[in-house]
Structures are given as structure tokens and as C-alpha cells.
Amino acid sequence: MIKQKKTWNKRSKVLVEILRDRLKEIRPERVKSLNDYLDQDNNPTDDVRRSAGVYVIFREKKPLYVGSAGINHTLWCRIRDLFYWHRPYKGNRYNHTLSNKMYEAFNSKDKVENYLKSCKIVIFPEDDDTNAKALEYFLITILRPICNSEINKKKDCIYFLKSELS
């Protein structure tokens, strides 16, 4: 039993160090405008990897949302989903949780897109879905983004977004 505890402590320390190192990657030179990753049709450019990973969306240094992407629904797809508008409307208007919350707050497709384009983003490519999910949960816990439902209620996010427009 004591040997298992020592092994667990060593693994825990290694994991914490790895996650701390990843958190340090949120440096000013890594934080880019979301608009820099989009073409004229709001599709992601080739700079966005078609791999698993995590992304953090910021508004004026405040973390808005932390999301992850898997091997099958990649970072490229998740960034595209932010702007993917359903016509005709059935259920959610967007393919992305954050965009749907923004639409509820702004009630305008143009306002959602302009707001998103004014945001900053950091992208963390990962090798697999498991690493991406682990990093996503760690960043949500540490950064406490206003629009992640794991941290805040939907109404808190919508209130914050509406206050941004006033």
C-alpha cells in the first residue's frame, strides 16, 4: 500500500508539472487575434491544425471560454463551428456552445461574428483526445472562464456578454 502511494505521488507531481508548463504557454506572443486565424469567409486558415487540442478564447485578457477538440472533430472544425450558421433555423443556430450563448445575448449574427473576431485565442495542439480533455478540464479549473457551463450558469455568461455591448 505504501509503495502504491509513493508511485501515485510521483505520478501526480509529474502531471502537475506538465500542466503548469502548459499554463505557462499562455504568453503574450502566443495569444493571437481570432480574426488572424480566419479567411474572408470566416473559415479557419491552414494555420489551425487539423488535430486534437484545446483552445482558450479571451476578451481583453478575460478568459471567456475553454474548449477542446478531438482527433475526429479537430481544432480546425471547432474554430469553424464558432461561425457556422444554420439555415433554416432548427434548434441551435450555431454549431458551437459559445456562439449560441452570444446569439442569445446579442440577437444578431453580425454582432456575434464581430465580437468573436475581436477576441483573442491561444491554441494548444495535442496528440490525442485524452490529453486534450485533461488539459481542457485543468484550464477551466485554473482560468475559470465566464462562458463555460462547468464554472458559471448560462445566465451569468449572457449577462456578461450583454454588459460588453453597453
- How many Cβ atoms from other residues are within 10 Å of residue 141's Cβ? 13
Q: What are the structural domain ranges in the chain? A: 27-165
pLDDT in tens, 75-128: 999 999 999 987 756 666 888 999 999 999 999 999 999 999 999 999 999 988
- Of 13, 29, 131, 11, which Cα lies nearest the Cα of 70? 131
Q: What pLDDT is attached to residue 154? A: 85
Give the model's confidence band at 2: pLDDT under 50 very low, under 70 low, under 90 confident, else very high.
low
Single out the residue of 140, 127, 117 nearest to residue 41, CA to CA: 117
User: Closest by alpha carbon to 101, among 141, 137, 52, 145?
Assistant: 145
Q: Does domain 27-165 have CATH number 3.40.1440.10?
A: yes
Cα 31 from Cα 106, distance rounded (Å): 25
Q: What is the pLDDT of residues 4-63, one digit of tens each?
A: 556 656 767 776 777 777 777 777 777 899 999 999 999 999 989 899 999 999 998 899
The alpha carbon dihedral of 12, 61, 56, 38 has a sign of: negative
